[in-house]
Amino acid sequence: MPVVEYRWRFDTGVVDDDHVEGLLDDFHVDVFNRSTEPITVEVTVYKLIHDQPASVIQTLTKTILPDSNNWFTIDVPEQINENFLVVLKHNGDDKDDLLATVYGRDKNEKAISSATYRHTELLKTELLIA
Protein backbone atom coordinates (compact mmCIF):
# COMPACT_ATOMS: atom_id res chain seq x y z
CA MET A 1 0.00 0.00 0.00
CA PRO A 2 1.51 3.36 -0.99
CA VAL A 3 2.34 5.92 1.67
CA VAL A 4 0.04 8.96 1.57
CA GLU A 5 1.58 12.37 2.13
CA TYR A 6 -1.11 14.29 3.96
CA ARG A 7 -1.12 18.04 3.28
CA TRP A 8 -3.71 19.27 5.80
CA ARG A 9 -4.54 18.50 9.44
CA PHE A 10 -7.63 19.53 11.40
CA ASP A 11 -8.76 18.59 14.90
CA THR A 12 -11.62 19.12 17.32
CA GLY A 13 -9.56 20.20 20.29
CA VAL A 14 -10.22 18.33 23.53
CA VAL A 15 -13.66 16.73 23.80
CA ASP A 16 -14.39 16.32 27.51
CA ASP A 17 -16.79 13.45 28.17
CA ASP A 18 -17.71 15.18 31.46
CA HIS A 19 -19.28 18.04 29.49
CA VAL A 20 -21.48 15.68 27.51
CA GLU A 21 -22.67 13.97 30.70
CA GLY A 22 -21.04 10.64 29.92
CA LEU A 23 -23.31 10.12 26.91
CA LEU A 24 -20.56 9.85 24.31
CA ASP A 25 -20.69 6.48 22.51
CA ASP A 26 -18.92 7.17 19.22
CA PHE A 27 -17.57 9.81 16.86
CA HIS A 28 -19.18 9.97 13.45
CA VAL A 29 -17.35 12.01 10.80
CA ASP A 30 -19.09 13.07 7.58
CA VAL A 31 -16.79 14.26 4.80
CA PHE A 32 -17.50 15.74 1.38
CA ASN A 33 -14.89 16.04 -1.38
CA ARG A 34 -15.45 19.38 -3.16
CA SER A 35 -12.47 18.96 -5.48
CA THR A 36 -12.10 17.40 -8.92
CA GLU A 37 -9.61 14.77 -7.71
CA PRO A 38 -9.92 11.82 -5.29
CA ILE A 39 -8.80 12.75 -1.76
CA THR A 40 -7.45 10.34 0.83
CA VAL A 41 -8.71 11.07 4.33
CA GLU A 42 -7.42 9.69 7.62
CA VAL A 43 -9.46 10.02 10.82
CA THR A 44 -7.90 9.16 14.19
CA VAL A 45 -9.55 9.28 17.61
CA TYR A 46 -7.24 9.61 20.62
CA LYS A 47 -7.97 9.06 24.29
CA LEU A 48 -6.32 11.73 26.45
CA ILE A 49 -5.34 11.01 30.03
CA HIS A 50 -3.73 13.65 32.23
CA ASP A 51 0.08 13.37 32.40
CA GLN A 52 0.18 10.46 29.94
CA PRO A 53 0.81 10.31 26.19
CA ALA A 54 -2.29 10.28 24.01
CA SER A 55 -3.35 6.77 23.04
CA VAL A 56 -4.92 5.91 19.70
CA ILE A 57 -8.38 4.37 19.93
CA GLN A 58 -8.66 3.79 16.19
CA THR A 59 -7.52 5.16 12.83
CA LEU A 60 -9.58 4.79 9.65
CA THR A 61 -8.53 5.76 6.13
CA LYS A 62 -10.67 6.12 3.00
CA THR A 63 -10.32 7.64 -0.44
CA ILE A 64 -13.23 9.95 -1.26
CA LEU A 65 -14.14 10.44 -4.92
CA PRO A 66 -14.71 13.93 -6.35
CA ASP A 67 -18.06 15.55 -5.59
CA SER A 68 -19.07 12.77 -3.21
CA ASN A 69 -19.34 12.13 0.49
CA ASN A 70 -18.47 9.34 2.87
CA TRP A 71 -18.33 8.79 6.62
CA PHE A 72 -16.26 7.28 9.37
CA THR A 73 -17.54 5.96 12.71
CA ILE A 74 -15.24 5.19 15.62
CA ASP A 75 -16.56 3.82 18.92
CA VAL A 76 -15.16 5.18 22.17
CA PRO A 77 -14.50 3.14 25.33
CA GLU A 78 -17.27 3.05 27.92
CA GLN A 79 -15.44 5.04 30.54
CA ILE A 80 -16.76 8.21 32.10
CA ASN A 81 -14.62 11.32 32.53
CA GLU A 82 -12.31 10.67 29.60
CA ASN A 83 -11.08 13.28 27.18
CA PHE A 84 -10.84 12.65 23.47
CA LEU A 85 -9.35 14.27 20.40
CA VAL A 86 -10.43 13.67 16.80
CA VAL A 87 -7.82 14.39 14.11
CA LEU A 88 -8.52 14.52 10.36
CA LYS A 89 -5.82 14.60 7.72
CA HIS A 90 -6.25 14.84 3.96
CA ASN A 91 -4.11 15.14 0.87
CA GLY A 92 -6.19 17.65 -1.10
CA ASP A 93 -4.50 20.64 -2.72
CA ASP A 94 -6.49 23.16 -0.68
CA LYS A 95 -7.60 22.97 2.94
CA ASP A 96 -11.22 23.48 1.87
CA ASP A 97 -11.19 20.74 -0.78
CA LEU A 98 -12.69 18.57 1.94
CA LEU A 99 -15.61 19.63 4.12
CA ALA A 100 -16.03 17.69 7.34
CA THR A 101 -18.35 17.59 10.32
CA VAL A 102 -17.47 15.62 13.45
CA TYR A 103 -20.37 14.41 15.58
CA GLY A 104 -20.01 13.02 19.06
CA ARG A 105 -23.02 10.69 19.29
CA ASP A 106 -24.92 8.86 22.00
CA LYS A 107 -25.96 5.18 22.05
CA ASN A 108 -29.00 6.02 19.88
CA GLU A 109 -26.71 7.51 17.21
CA LYS A 110 -28.01 11.02 17.92
CA ALA A 111 -25.57 13.89 17.72
CA ILE A 112 -24.64 15.56 21.01
CA SER A 113 -24.72 19.30 20.31
CA SER A 114 -21.83 20.14 22.64
CA ALA A 115 -19.66 17.54 20.85
CA THR A 116 -20.44 18.54 17.25
CA TYR A 117 -17.82 20.36 15.18
CA ARG A 118 -18.58 21.72 11.74
CA HIS A 119 -15.81 22.30 9.21
CA THR A 120 -15.38 25.94 10.22
CA GLU A 121 -15.22 24.98 13.91
CA LEU A 122 -12.39 22.47 13.59
CA LEU A 123 -9.26 23.75 15.28
CA LYS A 124 -5.56 23.83 14.53
CA THR A 125 -5.70 23.84 10.77
CA GLU A 126 -2.15 23.11 9.67
CA LEU A 127 -0.40 22.83 6.34
CA LEU A 128 1.75 19.71 6.72
CA ILE A 129 3.45 19.76 3.29
CA ALA A 130 3.89 22.91 1.21
Q: CA torsion 75→19→50→24, rounded to 10°? A: -10
- The predicted model gives 2-23 an average pLDDT of 77
| Domain edges within the chain | 8-127
DSSP secondary structure code for residue 109 in this structure:
S
The CA distance from 53 to 21, in Å, is 24
70-112 tens-digit pLDDT: 999 999 877 656 788 899 999 988 888 999 999 999 899 999 8
- Indicate the fold that domain 8-127 takes in CATH: Hypothetical Protein Tm1070; Chain: A (2.60.290)
pTM (global) more than 0.95:
no
32-45 tens-digit pLDDT: 999 999 999 999 99
State the burial class of residue 3 (Cβ atoms within 10 Å of its Cβ: 0-12, 13-18, 19+). exposed
